[in-house]
Amino acid sequence: MSELEKNTNAPENQEKEQFSLNDDRRVKTLSPGALVVRRFIRNRVAVTGTIILIAMFLFSFVGGLITPYREDQLFYRTTQQNKQYAAVKENTEFRYVTATKDSFPSVAQAKFVIARKTGKTSFEGKKGTTYTYEEIGEDFCVIYEDGKEDPVAFATYDTVSSVTSDGEVAFDLQCEILQAIAVGEDSFTLDGVEYTVAEDGSIYKGTEEVAYASRFIVQAIMSDVFLTRTFKEELVTSIQDGNMDFVFTDEDGTEASYTVTYDAASKSYAVLQTVETKVFDTYSAPSKEHWLGTDRNGMDMLTRLMYGGRVSLYIGFIVVIIETVLGVILGGLAGYCGGWVDNLIMRIVDVFYCIPSMPLIIILGAAMDAMRIDPQIRMFYLMLILGFLGWPGVARLVRGQILSLREQEFMTAAEATGVRASRRIFRHLIPNVIPQLIVTMTMSLGSTIITEATLSFLGLGVKFPFASWGNIINDVNDTYVLTNFWFIWIPAGICLLATVLAFNLVGDGLRDAFDPKMKR
């Protein structure tokens, strides 16, 4: 008061005034906004929160633009994969080849084996058919049926295959070839054509190779694979040499390596082809290309985090805006109008408070799942649902504030000075509600992000292909991932924690800054 007295009644003591610490010398006046900013900046914790938030915003909104990858871009890696390719079996039993017109049933085949073991040259098949056989070599017999001039079948250890993939070798020719091999002839003539049998089992018609004979049966596992003669031969040679690894270069020059394993039970060799295969690059550790590795779909984790942050922040803000707009309008109406309006709105609020929000959201989420709603539209629904469930808290707060403020003397004073009702509300009431409103808004930003993350984690919120921090963490649905791939859940967890914490810090800081009773 002393300086006021001086100002009002003492222009004469000019000299004294020079040394006085008058208010106008001492304090620089600041605009109300600047005061709030100043008080906020002085709050170290709040500034830390703001910096975290700015970093999060940059990370989410600018980061998404900078990153070279798309949100849902899939990455692949190549791996060596062993594929069942072929099976090789050395023939140690007679195989029977029957002439096209005739039949040599399995009963007869068995009888033949017995006859051969007992040294008989003829045996009886079914229905009294009598067969005779002529043993041409150790492992080649030609079988005749009584009354027929031409052989009906032959039994052999070797097989004759055509050199072309779809070619067939005629019965007669097979028979001649095997006979030639069995007696050790170099050439034979069939139907006036001269054939030559080479050392390695190839049969030439003139100079053209038509077929080959081999004791090994090499069969492809896959029906679409044709095994070339060279491949078969080299494979067989390799097996005979005892090599279990086999490299083959085909006519196109493509090199492939094969592993051969021997299966004693079936007395056969399995050939595994080692192929380079492209697979989704899942759970790859952090690297130069993927700073935070990749997730279970083979998408870049850092990029997912950025886009997830976008979604989380978007949802947080929109939900809080919906909540606040509804809450302020309805709470303000209830508080200012009172009477039946107040009663009605507050009963609606009570009803909303009775709704268990989590089960409701889960049910709605499941319903949207069932309706196969597009993930993008689903996101909007999620915002609406969360917003509509959140406003009663805000409305209650605003109503309570307005009820208490309405009875304050300064409101009567404003009425007494004849200020319009709208002005009274917006200049006198609302500014006094704002601090509490801002605190709840920022706090509910944090909690909304948490709710969204929870829902997404449960698979009810934001859906693939959209990322959100919640559904990123959802990747950790087994202990194996939890313990082995830290980069899946730790970064998302940190983002979530930092953002929510920062919102709460900023909320507290703002409340203090808006409070004029705080020290300047």
Cis peptide before 359 (omega within 30 of 0): no
When the beta carbons of 32 and 206 are compared against another protein, the nearer one is 32
User: How far apart are alpha carbons 76 and 281 in whole angstroms?
Assistant: 5
Strands 95-98, 151-156: pairing is antiparallel
From the CA atom positions of the chain, what is the Rg in Å?
45
The answer to whether the beta carbons of residues 175 and 154 sit under 8 Å apart is yes
When the beta carbons of 142 and 433 are compared against another protein, the nearer one is 433
Residues near another protein (CB under 8 A) are 1, 4-5, 7-8, 23-24, 29-32, 408-410, 412-420, 423, 427-428, 431-432, 434, 516-517
When the beta carbons of 293 and 435 are compared against another protein, the nearer one is 435
Instruction: Tell the smallest beta-carbon distance from residue 320 to another protein (Å).
Output: 22
Instruction: Tell the smallest beta-carbon distance from residue 44 to another protein (Å).
Output: 24
When the beta carbons of 288 and 520 are compared against another protein, the nearer one is 520
When the beta carbons of 252 and 409 are compared against another protein, the nearer one is 409
Q: What are the distances in angstroms from CA 316 to CA 70, 112, 409? A: 23, 86, 38
Instruction: Tell the smallest beta-carbon distance from residue 434 to another protein (Å).
Output: 8
The answer to whether the beta carbons of residues 470 and 457 sit under 8 Å apart is yes
DSSP 194: E
When the beta carbons of 4 and 371 are compared against another protein, the nearer one is 4
Report the chain's terminal Cα–Cα distance, integer Å: 20
To 5 degrees, how large is the angle CA 131–CA 132–CA 134? 145
Instruction: Tell the smallest beta-carbon distance from residue 420 to another protein (Å).
Output: 7
Strands 216-220, 76-90: pairing is antiparallel
What type of residue is 446? G
When the beta carbons of 375 and 431 are compared against another protein, the nearer one is 431
DSSP string, 363-410: HHHHHHHHTT--HHHHHHHHHHHHHHHHHHHHHHHHHHHHHHHHTSHH
The answer to whether the beta carbons of residues 457 and 441 sit under 8 Å apart is no
Instruction: Tell the smallest beta-carbon distance from residue 335 to another protein (Å).
Output: 16
Which helix (H) or strand (E) element contains residue 319? helix 301-337
User: How far apart are alpha carbons 169 and 201 in whole angstroms?
Assistant: 14
When the beta carbons of 301 and 414 are compared against another protein, the nearer one is 414
Q: At what angle do helices 486-514 and 32-42 cross, to 10 degrees?
A: 130
When the beta carbons of 417 and 479 are compared against another protein, the nearer one is 417
Instruction: Tell the smallest beta-carbon distance from residue 354 to another protein (Å).
Output: 24
Instruction: Tell the smallest beta-carbon distance from residue 435 to another protein (Å).
Output: 9
The answer to whether the beta carbons of residues 382 and 452 sit under 8 Å apart is yes
Instruction: Tell the smallest beta-carbon distance from residue 15 to another protein (Å).
Output: 20
When the beta carbons of 277 and 408 are compared against another protein, the nearer one is 408
Beta bridge partners of 142: 134, 154
At residue 503, φ and ψ (nearest 5 deg) are: -60, -40
Give per-residue burial for 328-340: e unless 16+ CB within 10 Å, then b. Answer: bebbbbbbbeeee
When the beta carbons of 370 and 416 are compared against another protein, the nearer one is 416
Instruction: Tell the smallest beta-carbon distance from residue 297 to another protein (Å).
Output: 52
User: How far apart are alpha carbons 440 and 48 in whole angstroms?
Assistant: 19
Instruction: Tell the smallest beta-carbon distance from residue 411 to another protein (Å).
Output: 8
Q: What are the distances in angstroms from CA 397 to CA 64, 66, 334? A: 37, 42, 11
Instruction: Tell the smallest beta-carbon distance from residue 25 to another protein (Å).
Output: 10
